[in-house]
Structure formats: structure tokens, C-alpha cells
Structure 1
Amino acid sequence: MLLNRIFIQLFLLFSLTAFSQSQYKLVEGVKSDKIRFQLVNNVIIIPVNVNGVDLKFLLDTGVNKSIIFNFLKDSDSLKILNAKKIKLKGLGDGEYVEAVRSSHNTFTIGNAINKNQVFFTIYDSNLNFGPKLGLPIDGIIGYDLFKDFIVEVNYSSQYIRLFDPFKYKYKRCAKCDVVNMSLFGNKPYIQGKVEQDSKELPVKLLIDSGSSDAFWLFENKEKGLRINTSFFNDFLGAGLSGSVYGKRSKIQKFSIGKFTFDNPKVAYPDSLLVKNLTIRHDRDGSIGGEVLKRFNCIIDYQNAKITLKKNSLNKLPFNYNKSGLQVENDGVRLIKEIDVNSSGGGLSVVNGRIVRVEAVVGPSEKYIVKPSYSIKIIREGSPGDLAGLRINDVIIYINGRSTHDMTLKELVSYFYKKAGTKLEIKVLRYGFERVFNFELKSPIE
């Protein structure tokens, strides 16, 4: 499990007309199509071809418009057709974001093609979510795909399957539960129940596959939604308009359909950031990827329902980062290695990108490219903070193992081990190596 929660919700600052001809269709003769995905930090990453360029997109039920982060590609490699400048606003403590609206684009996802896809291009490199996930993210897609298919999301086997809604036939499933959805602003909402102080409270939640958290709840005294007395302040994630902060805690129970979770973790974002969401949609929060991944789902926008079936991930514990460290992939470093048969260079794959390496320093030594991980946020009073670690420290070893051969997911998994686990972390700080030791401690007992 990684640290950062990725979520984006758009409020476009102009009126949009409907493009009825903008539609995904399976190629002739194909009844359904299976597409493999990567599950990273509880969110789904799928391959998408845009105007002939292969990209990686986050599949997000929480967004109603498709986005491309074009700073990840050379300016001339991705064609931006019929461009028009606009501004976007989303969750976060920042301002509006400059973007370009592009139409009449060809998107290909597996055997599904849309020849008139509209997307919004963002050039601000500060909105690069790739370092938080440890792999490049070129864009985000949600409603545009879900509206045209019945979509099976198999979290346990990591694939989606697209079905023609006019040919799909539901199968009997005794272990499944079919739950009604409601669509507002082209986003799916579901009714659930939370239990606090032994009181059962109904809640309306956005189904947000682009959030890696379990649940978000919005404080509401009139509805009885309040923060447990046991909580801690934390960074909740990166939104389109900046960082989102709030509190983390636990609730007694959460129920969706016939399924119930005991003592799940929950996040309460800053009330000022979500004020418009509660007023406009009577929304009480979100259900995110850490819960959704525990089910294999069939998502049916046209009939406004979602089918849930428990999978092998259902019994995973709801766990916290017990170090207090938020770590990101901040690029690459040149690492000297001994190589008797040094050839003088070549290609290296780093986080899905091909990098040419030609830094040979001798007949038996060479420099190779390896990923670099640094601390970006430290929770005040956490074990990492009390041990003396600082923001921008580059982690090079953890418990005697070099981080250069780890993925970000592997590195951060150390922070989710049992309370009391001892960690020895070696970092680079201003070019000097330093070693820090501490024990993991749960922020909520």
C-alpha cells in the first residue's frame, strides 16, 4: 500500500453541450473485451491509446471529464486537436488550473474505440501524480467510458471487461448483492449506513474508484456525522487544485447493501474544502478504492446499479501508515556498480519510461540509473518525526536493504507493518549519509 490518496473532482467554469456522437463502441464482431490493469495504491491504471500515442490512465468513477497531463510527453508527440483554453477547479487549497479543451480525438481502450473524445489537457507539472504512485500517470478517464458499457471490474485478478449493454445478460449470483446507484453530474452515488455511538446513520456517498482511501465522511452535526474523539491530523491527498488535509479516525461499522465492515478507517477532509459538495449534491462523503478493491464489481450506469461480490481481498485489515512519512519517487539517481564486462551504455527502464544510460567511468565500473525516493511530508509527532528525519531526505536503505532496487510500493510497505516493528533508515541529506532508528506506532490505538 502506498501513502498518497489520489482524487480529482472537476467543476468546469463554462457550459458544455452534449456530444451525442461521442461514444465508445467495440469493434465489429466483439461482444466483450477484457483489459488488464495495474492496481497501485488501491487505484486502477489502464492502457489508453490517444491519437496514436500509448498512455496510462487512472480509471476514476469520481470524474465526469477526461484529463491528460501533457507535461509527461514531448510537446510534439501528442496531438492536441481543436484546442480551446479554459480553467478548471477541483478539490484542494489552491487556485484555478489553466487547461486546454480538445475535441475530435481518437481514444482506443482495448477493442473499444471513440473517434470523438473530448479531453482537457493540463500542463502544470505541479499536478504530476506519478511520483506519488511510483509510475507515470498520463491521464484520467471515468464517465466517458462507463456510460457506454456495462463494466466488470475484477480487482482480485486485475482486469476490467467491457460489455455491450444491449447484449449483456445478468447471471444469478447467490453471493452477490445488487445495489442501486444514482447519477448526479455524471457521477455515481450510493446509499450506505455508518454506525457511530451505537446509532445507525444513512449516508449518501460518491463511488470514487480514483481515491485510494477507504471512506471519506463530511462532518455534519445536523445528521449526526462527527469525528470520533480518537483521531489524528494528516495529509489526505493531492487534488486538482492543491493539497487536501483533514483528520483520520475510525467508525464502529459501515454497511453497503448486505455487506458490513467493522471498525473501518475513515478520513474527514477540511470542511471548508468540501462545503460546495455537501450543498450542491447533499453528499455525505465517498467510498474509495480501499473498500472497492474488496469486491469484484459490475458497474451499470445505464440501469443505475452496481453488483458487488466479495473477493480474496475482502479480509485485508484496514491499516495505517505507522511511520508518519510520506515518500515519493522524485526521479532517478546514478548508482555506481562494478561490471567487468561493461559495454559502455544502453537502455534502462525506470518506472515505465526508457532511459538511455552511457555514463561509463572505467573498464570495470559504470553508473546505472535507479529510482530515487525522498520524504515529502512528515506527520508531526510521528515516529519518523521524533527520530529526526526531515523533508527531502533521500531514503537509500531501509533495514539494510537498498531502496534502489525497490518499487515505491515495496518501500512504503515497511511503514504498514505491525506496531513495534523496528526500522533502520539510512538517508542522504545534503550529500551526507545519516542513519535513523525508530519503532512503528499506530496513530490510533
Structure 2
Amino acid sequence: MRGFRSFFWVLLLIFPVLGMGQTFELPEGKKFQKIKFQLVNNLIILPIEVNGTELSFMLDSGVNQPILFNITDQDSIQINNVSEIKIRGLGEGESIKALSSRGNTFTLKNIENRKQLLYVVIDKSLNFSTSLGIPVHGIIGYDLFRDFVVDINYATRTMKFYDPKFYTYKKDKRSETLPMTIHRRKAYLDANVLVDDVDDIPVHLLIDTGSTDAIWLFEDDEIGIPEAHYDDFLGKGLSGNIFGKRTKVNSIQIGSFILKDAKAAFPDTRSFASIKNFGNRNGSIGGEVLKRFNIVFDYPNRKVTLRKNNMFKSPFHYNLSGITLQHDGVRMVSQRLSSGHGVVKSDDSSFGNVQILFQDRTRLSLVPEIIVSGIRAGSPAETAGLREGDVILAVNGKSVHKYKIQEIIQMLDEKKGKRIKVLIERYNRDLLFSFVLEDLFKHKKP
């Protein structure tokens, strides 16, 4: 299956760290900086200025240094002191060329680093924006976590970066502070998983805010793949696609917090060819678990504090339809307007920025084109006859250009047993397909 699954983006990069840059700093005397962020598909998106140009970065605790990508001819960004290198990450492909740039100024409101090391990847296939539905220009991780106590409130979509000298732990019976390991600039947490009703298995997991998935596990002598599973495309790494087995485990326990019937995946080991030694790592924990807590990351003191929020008991999301979507340019739609007087105004930004209004009160608008970028083999959508490249026009009678891509995905995967009707365009013909969302595990042994 080609294309990108918007739910499972992963970028864990493996390359040498070329020295330590100057740290991020708050203005003198300021104790913390509060930042608003977007939460899209369990991913945290931050506004960061790079040498004076505001860009959007995903906060990814699985990366060593900031990575810049998805730069187009419409972007004007100055980068300093450039040299060419090769980098490699997860996936089944080869290493790719990139640029290393020193001495860049990164600004996040009042937080600033004037000597930031930056990598630039010139690869059009590495693009989150088409699947997430918003511009994303890069990823940043360790350098921000290293210099602050980072308080992430997933519920309010805000985070605070504290100067460690001024942060005070509060006594709260609903919170739990756990030890956290930092190894090679990445954070790890101990947990327990219950698989197929076998005894709880202790696991050592990478904390990965850059993964939209719940939990990844590596198969070994102790951790086996549950019988109830199916083959799936898990995401795209820097070095190619990542495939594996999609399943669920009886429970994940982190400290005293227990998540039951939790979604899990076992990635194919070929996707990790770039990692020579996992040490005692058993997998990773991603955004679909992390968002259920408000979290304080204290890298300087090797501690993490968890407090469950109102998303703690939310059901885990599965791709029931088997469809993967992405933006693919724009298309033109027409709308017949109701009669009235004066200038026609619309507060519906979903119609796009380019609109033509004719005297007969017909409006033509350029809107994002949503296409099927991949379909899981044997899924309801594939069985019904949908194909990669189909242009999605409507889901259950709702025109998709009025919705964000994540809202369209929710329509397609709403709940088991729901009938979905999808209107598509294929070779200039409109076709209607219908299918029922099935329990992905109902034909599997318990």
C-alpha cells in the first residue's frame, strides 16, 4: 500500500550529533513561558520562528536535533553555515542526503536559541501537511526538553516551559511522578503490558510525542504477537514505509494508571535496520496514550509526572474503513447561492481563498482536493471497490470540502456496524460506494 497513514507518522532519526549548540533560554528573571499549540492527530504543533520566519514544528521527543523539510518555492527562509551530510531513520529504504546548518536563531515567543544546529531535508515525499491538513515545516525535540521543565496540558492545548531553577513540584493526589531514563538524548519510561491474559510483562518504552500511535512493541521471547491481529501500514519513517501487525493488548500500566484493551502494534524488524542495538528497549509509547494525561517532563532531574485528563477513557481509534487520505492540490466546486441583496459574504473558510461570483449567483471556489492515498488489503473499502487515487467528494451525503481532513477520517471510521456511503470521482465519473464498518478482530480468535 502506497501513501501515508495520517494516524501513524513516525520520525525517529539516527545520525551523529555534531556538537552541542547554545541552549534555549528565557529572558532573565522570567520563570516560565506559556505557549498555545495545536493538537492534530495526537501530534503537538508549535509555532517557531527560524531566523525571523515563522514556521510550524511538530514536537517530537524521538529526535535529536531539529529537522526542517517541506520547504517550497513560496517559503523564504535563510539558513546559515551549510554543509551536506547523510542521515538515516526508520523505514526500509536507504539513507538520504540532507543539509547541516549551524548558527540559526530559533524563537518560541520569549524563548530563544541563537546558535541552533538544524538539519534540512530536501525530499518532497517527506511531507506531513498533506495528511494532517495543516502546514508542518519541521520537527523539534530534545533541544527544547533538555533546557526546561516542560508542562504539557493536552486538555487545554497549552504548554509551559519552566526554568528548572524556578519549578516547584506541587502535592497532588491525582498526579504520579515516575523515574525517566535519558539515553542518547531520548527519554524512556518503564511500564507493564498484559498480552493475551499472560502475566504482566515489564517493558522499557521510548517516549515518542512524534508518533500518533498508542504503543509499539518489539516481538521477543517474552512478548508475543496476539492471535487477534492484522497486517497494516504503520507509518512512514525518514528511510521509508513501516509495516507491521496491528493488534490490541489487554492492558498497559504506567505507574498506577491502567489503560484496558489498548491499541498496539508490532512493527516489522526490517524497518529498524538502522538501529544496531536496542539495548533494553521493548518499544515506544506515542500520542494516542500520552494525550490521555497532562504531563510534566523534567529532563534535568530525570522525572515525568502524569495526571489523567478527560481523554483518559476515550476509545482507541482504529482505521475501520481501511482508507488513508491526503490532500492533493485543489479542485473547483460550484455553489448556487440563495437570493438576496447586496454583496454576498461567507464566513465558511472551507471554500478556500479563491472565489469567483457570477451574476446568476453561482459561486466557483478552489478547495482542497482529498484523495485516497492508500487502502488496506481486505478492508471494507477495498472490498467495496474503492481504489488508490480516487477523489473523495462526499461521505454520507456531506461534501468533504467543508471539513478538515481529520473530520473526514472520523466520518469514515465513526463506529463498528455503521454503513458508510462514499461519493468519489474516478476518470471524470462520479461513483457511489457503500460498505459497513466491521469489528477488525471479530474473525480472530480471542
TM exceeding 0.5: yes
- The one-letter amino acid of 2:318's match is Y
Listed as ranges, the matches of 1:250-265 within 5 Å are: 250-265=248-263
Q: Which residue of 2 aligns with 1:18?
A: 20
Instruction: Tell whether the 8 Å contact from 1:102 to 1:120 is kept in structure 2 after alignment.
Output: yes
How far apart are residue 342 of structure 1 and its match? 10
Q: What is the identity percentage for the equivalent residue pairs of Structure 1 and Structure 2?
A: 39
Listed as ranges, the matches of 1:30-69 within 5 Å are: 30-69=30-69
Q: Which residue of 2 aligns with 1:310?
A: 308
Partner Cα separation in structure 2 for residue 343 and residue 71 of structure 1:
37
Task: Point out the more displaced range, 333-342 or 188-197.
Answer: 333-342
Whether 1:410 aligns to 2:407 is yes
How far apart are residue 190 of structure 1 and its match? 0.8
Gapped regions of structure 1 (runs ≥ 5): none
Secondary structure of 1:136's match? coil
Partner Cα separation in structure 2 for residue 414 and residue 15 of structure 1:
43
Secondary structure of 1:409's match? helix
Instruction: Tell whether the 8 Å contact from 1:3 to 1:321 is kept in structure 2 after alignment.
Output: no
Gapped regions of structure 2 (runs ≥ 5): none
Instruction: Tell whether the 8 Å contact from 2:336 to 2:362 is kept in structure 1 after alignment.
Output: yes
- The one-letter amino acid of 2:302's match is A
- The one-letter amino acid of 2:19's match is T
Whether 1:194 aligns to 2:197 is no
Whether 1:129 aligns to 2:131 is no
Aligned length: 435
Which whole-Å deviations, capped at 9, do the CAs of 1:301-335 have from their partners, x for residues lacking one?
00011000010000101231211111112222121
Which whole-Å deviations, capped at 9, do the CAs of 1:111-167 have from their partners, x for residues lacking one?
111111111111111111111111111110000111110000000111110100011
Which whole-Å deviations, capped at 9, do the CAs of 1:18-69 have from their partners, x for residues lacking one?
33xx111112342111101111101100111111111111001111110111
Instruction: Tell whether the 8 Å contact from 2:350 to 2:401 is kept in structure 1 after alignment.
Output: no
Listed as ranges, the matches of 1:109-128 within 5 Å are: 109-128=108-127
How far apart are residue 418 of structure 1 and its match? 1.8
Task: Point out the more displaced range, 415-424 or 83-92.
Answer: 415-424
- The one-letter amino acid of 2:20's match is A
Whether 1:227 aligns to 2:229 is no
Which one of the candidate residues 8, 13, 34 is aligned to 1:5? 8
How far apart are residue 252 of structure 1 and its match? 1.4
Listed as ranges, the matches of 1:198-217 within 5 Å are: 198-217=198-217
Instruction: Tell whether the 8 Å contact from 2:81 to 2:102 is kept in structure 1 after alignment.
Output: yes
Partner Cα separation in structure 1 for residue 51 and residue 172 of structure 2:
40
How far apart are residue 70 of structure 1 and its match? 4.6
Whether 1:172 aligns to 2:171 is yes
How far apart are residue 271 of structure 1 and its match? 1.5
Instruction: Tell whether the 8 Å contact from 1:235 to 1:244 is kept in structure 2 after alignment.
Output: yes
- The one-letter amino acid of 1:186's match is R
Partner Cα separation in structure 2 for residue 423 and residue 97 of structure 1:
40
Instruction: Tell whether the 8 Å contact from 1:346 to 1:356 is kept in structure 2 after alignment.
Output: no
- The one-letter amino acid of 2:367's match is K
Instruction: Tell whether the 8 Å contact from 1:342 to 1:365 is kept in structure 2 after alignment.
Output: no
Partner Cα separation in structure 2 for residue 233 and residue 362 of structure 1:
54
Instruction: Tell whether the 8 Å contact from 2:90 to 2:274 is kept in structure 1 after alignment.
Output: no
Listed as ranges, the matches of 1:24-423 within 5 Å are: 24-72=24-72, 74=74, 77-196=76-195, 197-221=197-221, 224-274=222-272, 277=275, 279-338=277-336, 357=354, 364-423=361-420
Partner Cα separation in structure 1 for residue 223 and residue 360 of structure 2:
67
Which whole-Å deviations, capped at 9, do the CAs of 1:395-418 have from their partners, x for residues lacking one?
101101100101001100023322
Q: Please report the TM-score for the alignment, with normalisation by the length of structure 2.
A: 0.92
How far apart are residue 261 of structure 1 and its match? 1.3
Instruction: Tell whether the 8 Å contact from 1:24 to 1:114 is kept in structure 2 after alignment.
Output: yes
Distance verdict in 2 for CA 1:167–1:441, change over 3 Å: same
How far apart are residue 73 of structure 1 and its match? 5.5
Partner Cα separation in structure 2 for residue 258 and residue 272 of structure 1:
34
Distance verdict in 2 for CA 1:374–1:190, change over 3 Å: same
Task: Point out the more displaced range, 52-61 or 27-36.
Answer: 27-36
Task: Point out the more displaced range, 87-96 or 272-281.
Answer: 272-281
